[in-house]
Amino acid sequence: MSNVLLEARELHTYYGSSHILHGVDFCIHKGETLGLMGRNGMGKTTLIRSMLGLVKPRHGTVSVRGDVMTGGPTHRIARQGIAYVPEGRGIFPNLSVRENLQMAARAGVDGQRDWTFERVMQTFPRLAERINNGGGQLSGGEQQMLTIGRALMTNPDLLILDEATEGLAPLIVREIWRVIREIRDSGIATVIVDKNHAAVTSITDRSMIVVKGQVVFDGASTEVRNNPELIQKHLGV
Ligand SMILES: Nc1ncnc2c1ncn2[C@@H]1O[C@H](COP(=O)(O)OP(=O)(O)OP(=O)(O)O)[C@@H](O)[C@H]1O
């Protein structure tokens, strides 16, 4: 049996008449960690949205565990063990931290319940201290942690993190990287989009670089790390 979790072939996605993705191929396997990199506006988020059924690609196919599911529906793709932490935050501000987490709880595709409320509390001690606070009362960093906690409560096989550290204070950023490492080590496959290419390439097995809606690199993260020219050309500021 193949262990590909999520795969895309030849994706072309448009917003109105703007052609954003130009034939993108993508795949991630069980337990794999993948960095998705590229400068602003190159199409990383659009690629993720195209695979999750949040925007319908005009050409190409998306398959989840080998089943073609191009264009969604998103909830069916999520039920296949794929959790998405979008840029910006997706929590319920009027519910407490506890309620936010508990309402997301479910068993994974294979019935696994590794990520319990207690384990999320252990992973995010800061959230444990705020358990009865409303989601809206949390700092930006705590809200980001709660969003990741909610995703973990679904016991996913794949977690997609889009700019999880964006705009957060250095101390919180460090804590989020620690958590991402812990998630990776627990065996959950992860796709990590982040501007910090040094952090991304040190935590992932594989990296993809997207330039103007096309994949210009797909290979070992160590190859990116050891190639300053590649970094300068496609990722440097
Ligand atoms: N809803 C939308 N309608 C029209 N154009 C959009 C929309 N969302 C994104 N775009 C455009 O599509 C292109 C790709 O955007 P996308 O968000 O996928 O890039 P990105 O690589 O994720 O970069 P960023 O880090 O800035 O999010 C950009 O030119 C952006 O302006």
Strands (E), 96-213: 158-162, 189-193, 206-211
Both tokens of residue 118?
A: 């207690």
Q: What is the pLDDT of residue 2?
A: 77
Question: Is residue 132 within 6 Å of ligand 1 at its C-beta?
Answer: no
Q: Measured in angstroms, how far is the CA atom of residue 41 from the centroid of ligand 1?
A: 5
The domain 4-234 having CATH identifier 3.40.50.300: the answer here is yes
Question: Is residue 215 within 6 Å of ligand 1 at its C-beta?
Answer: no
In 3D space, the residue among 216, 199, 217 whose CA is nearest the CA of residue 207 turns out to be 217
- Interface confidence, given as ipTM, is 0.94
- Count of other CB atoms within 10 angstroms of residue 149: 25
Q: What is the pLDDT of residue 87?
A: 78
Q: What residues does 158 pair with on adjacent strands?
A: 82, 189
Domain coordinates in residue numbering, the chain: 4-234
Q: Measured in angstroms, how far is the CA atom of residue 56 from the centroid of ligand 1?
A: 14
Position in ligand 1 atom list of the atom nearest CA 55: 1
Grouped pLDDT means (10 residues each) for the chain, 237 residues: 91 97 98 97 97 97 96 94 87 94 96 96 94 93 94 97 92 94 96 95 97 97 96 90
Per the CB < 8 A criterion, the answer to whether 171 and 94 are in contact is no
Q: How many helices (H) and strands (E) does the chain have?
A: 10, 10
Q: What is the pLDDT of residue 103?
A: 95
Give the whole-angstrom CA distance, residue 217 versus residue 234: 10
pTM listed for this prediction: 0.95
Kindly state the greatest CA–CA separation across the chain: 49
Q: What is the pLDDT of residue 90?
A: 79
Q: What is the pLDDT of residue 1?
A: 54
Question: Is residue 170 within 6 Å of ligand 1 at its C-beta?
Answer: no
Q: Measured in angstroms, how far is the CA atom of residue 43 from the centroid of ligand 1?
A: 6
